Amino acid sequence: MAGLTQLLNVARDALAAQSYGLNVTGQNISNASTPGYARRVALLQTQNLGTQSGGGVVAAGLQRVTNDFIERREFQATGTSSAATARDQTLASIEALFNDGGGTGLGSAMSDVFSSFSALAANPNDTTTREKVLAAVGTFSDRANDTANTIAQTKMDLTKQAQDTIDQVNQRAQEIAKLDMQIAQAAMQGDDASDLKDQRTQKILNMSGLINTHTFTDSSGSTVVQVAGTTIVDGQHARTLSLDMNADGSLKLLADQSGGGATEITQYLTGGKLGGIKEVRDKDLFDVSAQLNQFVFDVGTAINTQHAAGVGADGGTGRNLFDLGATSTNAARDVRVSVDVFAHPDRIAAASNVFSVPGGSDNAVLLSKLFESPIAVGNTRTAAQAYGDIVGSIGSTRASSQRDVDTQGAILQQVQNMHQSESGVSLDEEMVNLTKFQNAYQAASKMIGVADQLMQTLLNTVGR
């Protein structure tokens, strides 16, 4: 039969257990805004004395409330959203290059070239008019160069960003492996590793923003982290990723092998900031560059052909107006005012034959008429149509990218809500818990007081 001493013991254990509950609640409240923190639940259970019920309570530890399924969804959604954002940020800057609203872009420069031919036909012997043709041709070349160089510079910046991102992935992998080791040690020592697990989850989440990341628990209970379809952290071991470049200038992602050498994993790179960089750099910018180069090459070639057929005021013929390569490769970057005519306005071929110099204007008219001729995209589109096609294509790509950012952001928000709902701290709940443990603690204190009174009563009676 339990005596007063037992009552005191029960009250003592209750004080300890409720105090533990208060501590856990305080921990939750303190970390309500800590990124990666998963709420804890104090595990209280009745205390047994052998096979007998002791009537007391004991704090059996705490539970870190998580859901592996939701966490994996969050890693995936974070990666997809980060990829969309990284891609969209670059596309926004590229889109601005083709925004001709101010009348200072490549489209306006192209239009000015044809307009200058029209003015040349009106006054073929006027030096100022001829200089304006050269100026228009120069401006078109400059705009094409600027646009191509900005795209090239953007690609270089993205390469640097990709390298920085890979460095961060490698650093996170090392940190995760180290945390895994610390968690294993804590488990062996019977310590609570919740804080370390929070940190590990946060590191993995951070990594999933950098590259598409997947995790699972292997048969030994270790967390395996895979990025781009490749295991990068397996327990306490971390692999290293590196960056290389293919012959065509596209990025190549490599994972080192334990026996030396590296395996290419580019094809499995689908998400995270690195995935977005790869897509915008090697696909979107590649497409834009190809369209731009083709446009400049087509327009420049058509004008060159017609110009070469004409005769300058000096009687010379067969001259180009633009210096262009033989193919469209890098045409936008390399196009220049031809050395044949540079600083020589008299060499602009306004006339079609030497006998009509200097007042002949028929070749200038033919140059002007190229504006409405299908000279681009395999002679199927006019210059203005081809430029409009580029603008429309870039606009569509950016609009699609913006929708992607919105969609993936909404999905991520939904998953984050699920995660918060499962693992986040509710201050309302914690206030209730605080009151619950506080009341229980006060009641246990009261039990001690009651036991003490009873003890005093007993001692007074026996001692009389």
Partner 1 sequence: MRITEQMRYDSVSNNLSQLSARQAKAAQESQTGLRVNLPSDDPIAAAELARVRASQGQIGARRGTITAVRGDAELAESSLQQASDLLATAKDLAMQGGNGALAASERAGLARQVKDLKDQLVAVANTQGTTGYLFGGSATQTRPFDNSGAFSGNDDDHVVDIGNSTPTAVNASGSRAFTAAAGGRDVFADLDALYTALNTNDTVGITATLSNLDVSRAQLTNAQAGMGITINKLDASDSVLAAVDQQTSTRKEEIGSADPAKAYATLVQLNNSLQQSATVSKNILDLAAFKQF
* Residues between 248 and 307 that touch partner 1 (CB under 8 A): none
- Binding partner 1 by CB under 8 A: which of 63, 174, 222, 426? 426
- Binding partner 1 by CB under 8 A: which of 6, 89, 125, 242? 125
Given a contact cutoff of 8 angstroms between Cβ atoms, the answer to whether 94 and 106 are in contact is no
Choices 67-75, 113-121, 283-291, 440-448; region in contact with partner 1 by CB under 8 A? 113-121
| Smallest distance from partner 1 to CB 134, Å | 16
- Binding partner 1 by CB under 8 A: which of 175, 430, 440, 451? 430
- Binding partner 1 by CB under 8 A: which of 30, 153, 421, 439? 421
| Smallest distance from partner 1 to CB 126, Å | 7
Structure tokens that stand for 220 in this block: 């030994």
Closer residue to partner 1 (CB): 7 or 113: 113
Told to check if 150 binds partner 1 by CB under 8 A, we report no
Told to check if 385 binds partner 1 by CB under 8 A, we report yes
| Smallest distance from partner 1 to CB 3, Å | 39
Told to check if 438 binds partner 1 by CB under 8 A, we report no
- CA angle centred on 199, ends 88 and 188, rounded to 5°: 145
Closer residue to partner 1 (CB): 103 or 229: 103
Told to check if 178 binds partner 1 by CB under 8 A, we report no
Told to check if 127 binds partner 1 by CB under 8 A, we report no
- Binding partner 1 by CB under 8 A: which of 47, 123, 171, 242? 123
| Smallest distance from partner 1 to CB 418, Å | 9
Site for partner 1 in 388-417 (CB under 8 A): 388-389, 391-396, 398-399, 402, 413, 416-417
Given a contact cutoff of 8 angstroms between Cβ atoms, the answer to whether 404 and 84 are in contact is yes
Mask of contacts with partner 1, 13-52, x by CB under 8 A? -------------------xx-------------------
Closer residue to partner 1 (CB): 167 or 389: 389
Closer residue to partner 1 (CB): 14 or 367: 367
Question: How many residues sit close enough to partner 1 to count as binding (CB under 8 A)?
Answer: 73
Q: Which of 441, 447, 440 is nearest to 8 (CA)?
A: 447
Site for partner 1 in 322-381 (CB under 8 A): 351, 355-362, 364-366, 368-369, 371-372
- Binding partner 1 by CB under 8 A: which of 431, 443, 458, 459? 431
Phi, psi of 376 (to 5 degrees): -120, 165
| Smallest distance from partner 1 to CB 456, Å | 36
| Smallest distance from partner 1 to CB 413, Å | 6
For tokens 């891609």, what's the residue?
A: 87
Told to check if 143 binds partner 1 by CB under 8 A, we report no
Choices 118-126, 191-199, 243-251, 449-457; region in contact with partner 1 by CB under 8 A? 118-126
Side-chain-side CA neighbours of 175 within 13 Å: the count stands at 18
Given a contact cutoff of 8 angstroms between Cβ atoms, the answer to whether 242 and 256 are in contact is yes
Site for partner 1 in 72-101 (CB under 8 A): 95-96, 98-101
Closer residue to partner 1 (CB): 95 or 298: 95
Told to check if 156 binds partner 1 by CB under 8 A, we report no
Q: Which residues contact 288 (CB under 8 A, 6 or more apart)?
A: 94, 151, 390, 393, 394
| Smallest distance from partner 1 to CB 357, Å | 7
CA distance 298 to 288: 15
CA distance 81 to 205: 12
